[in-house]
Amino acid sequence: MITISTCMIVKNEERFLARCLDCVKAFSDEIIIVDTGSTDRTKEIAAQYTPNIYDFPWVNDFAAARNFSFSKATMEYIYIADADEMIDADNIRQILDLKKILLPEVEIVQMYYTNQLEFGTTYNYDKEYRPKLVKRLRTFYWQDPLHETLRLEPIIFDSDIAIIHKPHESHASRDFANLQAFIQAGTPLSSKLNIMYAKELFIAGNNSDFLTAKPYFMQLSKQILSEGELKAVQCVLAKCGVIERNPHLILGSALKNIADGNGSSEVCACLGEYYEACEDFSEAILWYYNAVYETQCELAIRYGSELPLNGLIRCYRAIGDSEQAAYYEHELQVSTAG
Same domain, 219 and 277: yes
Assign 145 a pLDDT band (cuts: 50, 70, 90).
confident
Same domain, 329 and 197: yes
Same domain, 208 and 142: no
What totals of helices (H) and strands (E) does the chain contain, helices first?
A: 13, 10
Same domain, 210 and 157: no
Beta pairing class for 149-150 and 108-114: unpaired
> Tens digit of pLDDT for each residue in 172-199?
888 899 899 999 999 889 999 999 999 9
Same domain, 201 and 332: yes
> Tens digit of pLDDT for each residue in 210-265?
999 999 999 999 999 999 999 999 999 999 999 999 999 999 999 999 988 889 99
Same domain, 210 and 155: no
What is the tally of structural domains in the chain?
Answer: 2
Cα 245 to chain centroid distance, Å, stands at 29
Does 69 reside within a domain? yes
Does 274 reside within a domain? yes
Report the alpha-carbon distance of residue 241 to residue 252 in Å, rounded: 9
Q: Which range marks the domain in which residue 286 is found?
A: 188-337
Same domain, 278 and 313: yes
At residue 140, does pLDDT exceed 60? yes
Q: Would you say the C-alpha torsion 308, 314, 317, 318 has a positive or negative sign?
A: negative
- pTM of structure: 0.76
Range with the lowest mean pLDDT among 13-17, 164-168, 215-219, 224-228?
Answer: 164-168
Same domain, 87 and 230: no
> Tens digit of pLDDT for each residue in 76-126?
999 999 999 999 999 999 999 999 999 999 999 999 998 755 554 555 556
CATH of the domain at 299: 1.25.40.10
Does 181 reside within a domain? no
Long-range contacts at 136-139 (CB < 8 A, ≥ 24 apart): 136/5, 136/70, 136/73, 136/74, 136/75, 136/76, 136/77, 136/78, 137/76, 138/107
CATH of the domain at 51: 3.90.550.10
